[in-house]
Chain A
Amino acid sequence: MILEKPLLPYFEWLLQFDKTRWGALPHFLLTLLVIAIATLLLSLLVGTVLYGPLKAGDKVYRVVVNGFRELFSLSFRRVWALARLAIQESLRGRVLIAVAVFVLLLLFAGWFLKTEREPARLYFSFVLTATSFLGLFVALLLAVFSLPNDFKSKTIYTVLTKPVRAGEVVIGRILGFSLVGTVLLAIMGVCSYLFVVRALDHTHTVVGSVLAKGGDAEGNLPETTSLDKGHRHTIQQDDDGHLFAEFAHDHDHHVGESNGRLVVSSPHETIRARVPRGGTLRFKDRQGVQVARGVSVGKEWGYRSFIEGGTQAAAIWTFDGIDEKTLHDEDDGGEALRLELVVRVFRTWKADINTPVQGVIQLKRPGSDLKTAPEFFSAKDATIDQRYFPRTLTDTNNQPIDLLDDLVDEQGQIEVVVQCLDRSQYFGFAQGDCYVRMKEGSPLWNFTKAYISMWVQMVLVIAIAVTGSTVLSGPIAMMFTVSFILLGFYREFFVRVARGIQEGGGPVESLVRLVTQMNLTAGFRGESETTSLWIMRSVDSVFLGAMELLANVLPDFGEFNATKYVAYGFDIPANQIAQQLTMGAAYVIGLSIVGYFLLRTREVAK
Chain B
Amino acid sequence: MAATPEIPNSDKNGERRAREPDEAQVVVETRALSKVYRDFWGRQKVRALKSLDLEIHKGEIFGLLGPNGSGKTTTIKLLLGLLFPSEGEAIVLGQNATEVSKNERIGYLPEESYLYRFLNAEETLDFYGRLFNIPADVRRERIDRLIKLVKLDAARRRQLREYSKGMTRRIGLAQALINEPDLILLDEPTSGLDPIGTREMKDWILELRDQGKTIVMCSHLLADVQDVCDRIAILHQGELKELGRVDELLKVEDVTQVKARGLSADCQDEIRQVIERHQGELVSMENPTTTLEELFLSIVRDSEARPGRRIVKQEPTKQGKS
On whether the two chains bind one another, the answer is: yes
Q: Which residues of A contact B (CB under 8 A)?
A: 49-50, 70, 73, 75, 77-78, 80-82, 84-85, 88-89, 92-93, 153-165, 603-605
Tell me how far the C-beta of A77 lies from the nearest C-beta in chain B, rounded to whole angstroms: 7
B82 at the interface (CB under 8 A from A): yes
Q: Closest chain A residue to B84 by CB distance?
A: A603
Tell me if B131 and A159 are in contact (CB < 8 A). yes
B154 CB within 8 Å of chain A: no
B104 at the interface (CB under 8 A from A): yes
Residues of B within 8 A of A158 (CB): 108, 110, 113-115, 128, 172, 175
Given A84-B127, A155-B114, A162-B128: A73 and B133 within 8 A (CB)?
Answer: no
Q: Which 6 A-B pairs have the closest CB atoms?
A: A81-B130, A605-B82, A92-B118, A154-B114, A162-B131, A163-B103
- Bound Cα distance A604, B103 (Å): 15
Q: Which residue of A lies closest to B129 (CB)?
A: A81
Q: Is the CB of B133 within 8 A of A77?
A: yes
Residues of B within 8 A of A73 (CB): 101
A78 contact from B77, B81, B131, B172, Cβ within 8 A: B131
- B119: interface (CB < 8 Å): yes
**What string of 1s and 0s marks CB contacts (under 8 Å) between B103-122 and chain A?**
11010101011111111000
Given contacts A163-B100, A605-B83, contact A89 B118 (CB under 8 A): yes
Indicate if B296 sits at the interface (CB-CB under 8 A): no
Which positions 73-112 of chain B face chain A at CB distance < 8 Å? 77, 80-84, 100-101, 103-104, 106, 108, 110, 112
Say whether A80 contacts B108, CB under 8 Å.
no
Residue of B nearest to A77 (CB): B130
Given contacts A81-B127, A164-B100, A605-B77, contact A157 B110 (CB under 8 A): yes
Measured between beta carbons, the chain B residues less than 8 angstroms from A84 are 127, 130
**Would B116 and A155 count as touching, CB distance under 8 A?**
yes
Q: Given A605-B77, A605-B82, A85–B132 Cβ distance below 8 Å?
A: no
Query: Is B42 on the interface with A (CB-CB < 8 A)?
Result: yes
A53 to chain B, nearest CB (A): 16
| Number of interface residues, chain B, beta carbon within 8 A | 33
B100 touches A165 (CB 8 A): yes
Main secondary structure of the interface of A (DSSP, over half): helix
A135 to chain B, nearest CB (A): 23
Closest A residue by C-beta to B109: A158
On whether the beta carbons of B118 and A88 are closer than 8 Å, the reply is yes
A selection of 16 A-B contacts at a CB cut-off of 8 Å is A70-B100, A81-B131, A89-B116, A153-B117, A154-B112, A155-B115, A156-B114, A157-B80, A157-B108, A159-B131, A163-B100, A163-B101, A163-B132, A164-B131, A603-B84, A605-B82
A161–B123 Cα distance when bound, in Å, is 18
* Distance from A166 Cβ to chain B, minimum over Cβ atoms (Å): 8
- Assembly CA distance A89 to B84 (angstroms): 30
In the assembled complex, which residues on chain A have CB atoms less than 8 Å from the CB atom of B172? 158
Give the Cβ gap from B39 to chain A, nearest Cβ, in Å: 12
Give B116-148 interface residues, CB cut-off 8 Å to A: 116-119, 123, 127-128, 130-133
